[in-house]
Chain A
Amino acid sequence: MTGLVFDVFKGTTHDGPGIRDTVFFKGCPLRCAWCQNPESIEAKNRVWYSVKKCIGCGECLATCRTGALCAGADGMEINTARCAVCGGCAGACPTGALSIIAREYTVDELLRELIVDKPYFNISGGGVTLSGGEPLMQSEFCIALLRALKENGVTTALDTCGYVSSEALARALPHTDTVLFDLKIFDSDAHARFTGHENGKILENARLAADFITKNQGKALWIRTPIIPDATDSDENILEIAKFIKRDLSGAVSRWDLCLFNRASAFKYASLGRTWEFAEARGITGAEKERLLTLARQSSVDEIYAVGFTAE
C-alpha cells in the first residue's frame, strides 16, 4: 500500500500543538474557490510547469513518449489527458520548471522520514499532522500511518475538511490525538456555492468527532475557519459557527483558529494553468480581524486565535 503525498514540511507550529511535521496528502473532495493548495485537489498525480523557471532549453521534449508535451507560444504546454506522469520530462529539466506534484510513499518510508524529528516533538509536545488535500481520501493509508506513528510514540493530529466518510473518520479517531476540523461556512447553500458541496455531512462528522473527544481523555478538538473575503468573513457566518460549536460540540472544542486569507498561492494557479478568482482579492484588515475574534468568543471556546497576516 502506498500513499500519494505532495509535501512533507518539517517544523510547523500552526498545525496542532508544539513543533510538528506536517504531511500533505493529495486529493480533496471539496472544490473551495479560495483553495490555497490547488495542486492538492486532484486525487491523481500530475506534472506542473513554471514558466518563470523555464529557460527554454528543450531538453524535456525528447523524453516525452506519449506526445503530451509540446512547446507553445508561452512556454511548454502539457496535455494532461495524454500525460502518463512518467517523470521523464521532470528528470530532464535542469531548472525544475517541470516537476511532478506528488510522490508515492509506503508507510515505512514516511515513518522513517518523520521519526527522526521525535526529539523536537517530545520536547515541545508536538508530533505529526496529516493534512492535505483531505487525508481521509486515502483513509486506509492514513489510518495505517497514524497507527504506526502512535506505536512509535509519536503524537498525531488529523487536519480534515470533514467531508469524508463517517466510517473512515471513526476508524481514524482512535489513533488521533488532536483533530483539526474545518468549519468554513455555516449556511449550507453558500457552502455548496463556494465548495461544491452542502455541509450536512460535515456538521454530522463534527458532532461525531466531538462525541469521541468528549468520551476519550487526553484528546483535543480544534476548529479551523478560513477567513476569506466576501465568502466566509461575514459576521453572521462566524456567529453561526460560534453558536454551533457551543450548542452541538458541547465543550469538546479547546481551540478555534481563524485563518486569515493571503494571496501567496497565486503562483501555484499559474503553474497549473488555471485562473484564480481570488488572485486580486483584498486582505483582511486588523479591524475586521478584531471584530470577528469578538464574535467568535461567543462560542465559549477557551483559546481563539487569528492566524496569518492582516492587510495593512
Chain B
Amino acid sequence: MSKLVMNGISSFPQSDRLKKLIERSRELAISGKRSLYTANNTQLVYHWSDTGKAIAPQSGEGGFKGMALGDHGCRVSTGEDFPYLSEMPSRTEGYKMNAESWGKDFAFLMDHSPAEIYPNEAIVGEFHWEMNEVRHYDFGEKVKSLGKIAREHGAGGNSHGHTCSDLSIGLTQGWGGILERINKSLEKYTRLEHPGKMDFLLGAKHCCEAIIRYIDKHADRALGLAEAESDPAQKALYLKIASSCRNIASNPPATYYEAVQWIQFAIMTDRIVGHGNGYGRLDRYLIKLYEKGIADGTLTRDEAREYLSEVFLKVRGQFFSLGGRDKDGNDATNEMSFVVMEAYDMIGDYNNLGVMWHPDMDPKFYSYVCDVLTRHGAGTPSLVNYDVIRDTELRSGIPEEDASDVAYSGCQWFCIPGKEYCDQDTNSVVLTDPMFRAIDKAVDGEYESFEMLYSAFVDELKATTEALRVFKDAQYDILHLMWPEIVTSLNCHGTIERGLDVTAHRGVDYQFTSTNILGIPNVADSFFAISKLVYEQKKYTLRELRDAVRSNWKDNEVMRLHFLKQNKYGNDIADVDAMYVRVTESIAEIMDNTYNNRGQQYRASLFQFMGHTASEVIGATPDGRRATDPLAHGCNPTVGNSTKGIFAAANSTAKADNKKFLGGSLAIELQPKFFDGKDNIGQFIENFSKAYFEKNGVQINLNIIDLNKLRDAIDHPENPEYHNIVIKITGYTSRFIMLTRSFQEEFVGRENYESL
C-alpha cells in the first residue's frame, strides 16, 4: 500500500470545482503560508519561555521565526506585517490592560482585514493576521518572576485558549441574537454599577459587532464580484455567497449551507485571537438542518459533503468530534456523522477529527471510520474512548447532564463545549526534575531504601505542583484583562449573563487546571532500574549513578548498559509496569488534591505534545537514556525499549487508570508492510482498537508510513511525491515536509512496526 496522495484513494469523486480548491489549499501549505511556529526548545518542554511572549505564530515584534510545528495553521501568511499596525487603537489611544481595549483592537483588526472570495469557492473566509501580532502580550513582572520559580521546580505554563466553545449557541441565536444578549446584560450591569462586568461586556460588544460587519462585508464583496462576472455558474456562486453572508451576518443560519458557512466564520474569527481551540460535536450541530434540506429537496448528500470538505480545506487542523453518546446514554451517531467522515474521505490530507467510540456505537459507522483511517493512513481520525473521557469529567465533579456532552477537542484532551476553561495542553510538569531532586536528597541523606527515595520524589513532585499552582493563580488573576478570550466567550454558557470572560474566575462553570506531564515512562523506568541495581543488587551506589547520569554516562558505558538492560515499561511486564502505574497514581493523587484559585482541581494528562524531542534540555536519565536520545512521547514506551510488539505496548499503556487523567494517547506507527497478508486492514484496526478500549485505553493515533520515503523526504522536501505525506505528529496532523528538522528526525526514529 502506498502513501496517500491527495485525490488518491477516496471513495467519493471530486468535482472539478473542488479539485481546483484542493490544489490552491495544497499550494498554500507547501509554500509555507500556513505554518505554525513555536519559540524554542524551552517553550516546548516547559510551555513557558523566559520572555513569556512565545505564542504562535508570531511575536508581534516582526521577523520572528521559531520552530515550525507544521502547516496546520488556519492563517494564510502574506509575508507582511499588518499594514495598519501603527493605527491600532491600543497604539493611538494607549494600551490598557482590559477587555474593552482588547475588543477595540479586535474590531479594528477585523474592520481592516479584507473580505476575500476566491473563484470556485462556495464556502468563503480567509485571514492573514492574528491578534498576537498586533496587540501587546505580556503577563508582567509578577507572573514572570513566579514563572521563573516554577521553571526552577520543573514546571511552566502559558494559558491561551485551548478550550472548546459550543457553536450550537450561535447556530441557533445568530450573531445578532448574541449581540442582543450582550446589550441587555450591559444595560443591567451599567444600572447596577459593576465596572468589571461592564468592561467585559463592552469588549464583547466591540467584538460581536465587528464580526457582524466582517461577515456582511463578504456579502458586499460577493455582490460586487457577481456584477463583474460573465460566467453564469461562477456568477450564481457569488450570488449564493452574497445571500448567505447577508443573512448569517446577524441571523441564525436558515439552511445547511448557511450553517456550514457560519461555522467557517465562527472558527476563523475565533482563530484570529491566535489560539487553538476545539469546536465540539460537528455531527450534532448540523444534523437538523441536514435532515431538513434533504427532506425539502434543497440539499443533496453530495452537496452536504462538498461544503464540509471546503471547510476542512480552509480551517486546517481544527478539532471536531463525532459520535459519543447523548444525554440518555444512547448512541449519538447520526447520518451527519457519516457525512462528516465522507467529507474527509473525499479529500484526505490532514484533519484533526476525533471519533468517540463506545460499545453501543453504530457498528457500520465505526467500521467505516476504521476503513477511512487505514485507507488514507494519515492519522485521521483519532480514535477516542468516549466512556473513559466522560468518566474523567464525572470524576472531576461535573454532573451527569453536562458530562455526557463531552467532546474530544484537542491533541489528547476533551471538554464540555461552552462550559469549560481548563487550560488544556498549555501547562507542563517535567517529571524528571522532581526525580533528580529526590535523587540528590537520597545521595546527601544516604537513604537506605528505595521507599525513602520514592517518598522524597513524592515530596518533590508536590513542591513542583505547588510552584506551578502559585504561578498559575497569578496568571488567572489577570488573564481576563491581559488576554481575554472574548470571541470564544460569545459561544459559551453563562459568560454574557454573568458579565465574565471565559478565562475570568467563574466565567464558566468548570475551570480545572490541566497539566501535561513529560517523561513518565522515563521516570518509571529510572526508578525501576534504581530499585534493582542500587537497592536490591547493590551493584552501584546512588552517588555513582547520579554522577554518571550528570556527566551523560561519560566513561560509564557498561553502567549505562546495565541500567538500560533492566525491564522496561511498554512490554507488558508486570514488575516494571507496576512502577509506571505507581508513578501515575502518585501524580493523580497530588493533582486531585491541588486546587487553583477558582476552587477547582488540577488534572494531569499522560501526554506532552512535543517536549520529548527537546531532550537535551533535560539531560540523561537513570533508565540508561543518553542526553541526546528523545524522551518517551506521552505514555508511549521510550523508543527502543518496546521490543514485544504493539500489543504488549498497548497492554502496558492501558494499565494506568485512565479515568484519573485528562487523556493519554497510544501512538502507533505502522509500516505498510505490517499489513501484508492481512485480508482487511480496517477490520484489523477495528478489532484492535475495540479490544484496547475494552481494556480501558483512552485514545489511539495511528500512522501508516513508509519510513524510507520519510527519511528521504527530510533531505528532499522539493520532491513532489513527498508534498502530500501527512502524519499525525503527536496530537495533531501535519504535512511532514513542513516540520522542523528535529521533529522530522524524532518521528522517523520512533518505534515502528513492520511486522507482528
Contacts and interface: CB of A to CB of B under 8 A. Distances in A.
Q: Do A and B bind each other?
A: yes
Interface of A: 9-14, 18-19, 21, 55, 57, 59, 93-96, 113, 116-117, 119-120, 122-124, 305, 307-309
B371 interface: no
A85 to B, nearest CB: 19
B95 interface: no
B651 A116 contact: yes
If over half of B's interface residues share one DSSP class (helix, strand or loop), that class is named, otherwise mixed; here it is helix
Contacts of A11: 645-648, 688, 756
A9 B691 contact: no
Contacts of B694: 119, 123
B561 A13 contact: no
B455 interface: no
A123 B695 CA distance: 12
A13 to B, nearest CB: 6
A94 B572 contact: no
A13 B565 contact: no
Contacts of B228: none
Contacts of B691: 19, 117, 119-120, 122-124
A305 B561 contact: no
Contacts of A59: 558
Given A95-B561, A122-B691, A307 B677 contact: yes
A237 B134 CA distance: 78
Contact of A124 (B558, B565, B687): B687
B557 interface: yes
Interface string B31-58: 0000000000000000000000000000
Contacts of A21: 647
A10 B654 CA distance: 15
Contacts of B644: 9-10
A217 B181 CA distance: 70
B558 A120 contact: no
Interface in B676-700: 676-678, 684, 687-688, 690-692, 694-695
B716 interface: no
A308 B557 CA distance: 39
Contacts of A9: 644-645, 756
23 contacts: A9-B644, A9-B756, A11-B646, A11-B756, A12-B756, A13-B684, A13-B756, A18-B687, A19-B684, A19-B691, A21-B647, A55-B561, A93-B565, A116-B572, A119-B690, A119-B694, A120-B647, A120-B688, A120-B691, A123-B694, A124-B687, A308-B677, A309-B676
B741 interface: no
Contact of A94 (B558, B645, B646, B676): B558
A228 B690 CA distance: 38
Contact of B651 (A10, A12, A305, A308): A10
B689 to A, nearest CB: 9
A93 B564 CA distance: 12
A19 B688 contact: yes
B647 A10 contact: yes
Contacts of B112: none
A59 to B, nearest CB: 7
Given A94-B558, A308-B677, A10 B572 contact: yes
Contacts of B288: none
A96 B561 CA distance: 9
B24 interface: no
Nearest to B673: A309
Contacts of B688: 11, 19, 120, 124
Given A117-B647, A117-B651, 6 more contacts: A11-B756, A21-B647, A55-B558, A94-B564, A119-B690, A123-B694
B538 interface: no
B20 interface: no
Given A13-B678, A123-B690, A96 B647 contact: no
Contacts of A123: 687, 690-691, 694
Contacts of A19: 647, 684, 687-688, 691
Given A11-B646, A123-B690, A123-B694, A94 B562 contact: yes
Contacts of B572: 10, 113, 116
B752 to A, nearest CB: 15
Contacts of A13: 677-678, 684, 756
Contacts of B648: 10-11
A55 B557 contact: yes
Interface in B538-576: 557-559, 561-562, 564-565, 572
B558 A57 contact: yes
Interface in B650-706: 651, 676-678, 684, 687-688, 690-692, 694-695
Contacts of B562: 94
B715 to A, nearest CB: 27
Nearest to B675: A13
Contacts of B557: 55
Contacts of A113: 572
Nearest to A58: B558
A14 to B, nearest CB: 7
A14 B695 CA distance: 23
A123 B357 CA distance: 15
A96 to B, nearest CB: 6
B687 A94 contact: no
A229 to B, nearest CB: 20
A9 B643 CA distance: 10
Nearest to B695: A119
A95 B572 CA distance: 21
Nearest to A303: B679
B385 to A, nearest CB: 12
Contacts of A94: 558-559, 561-562, 564-565
A162 B644 CA distance: 29
A113 B688 CA distance: 18
Q: What 9 pairs across the A-B complex have the smallest Cβ distances?
A: A11-B647, A94-B561, A119-B691, A10-B647, A124-B687, A120-B691, A119-B694, A94-B562, A123-B691
Contacts of B561: 55, 94-95
B369 to A, nearest CB: 16
A308 B690 CA distance: 27
A12 B691 CA distance: 15
Contacts of B651: 10, 116-117
Contacts of A14: 677, 756
A55 B557 CA distance: 10
Contacts of B645: 9-11
A45 to B, nearest CB: 20
A238 B565 CA distance: 46
Nearest to A14: B677
Nearest to B650: A11
Contacts of B564: 94
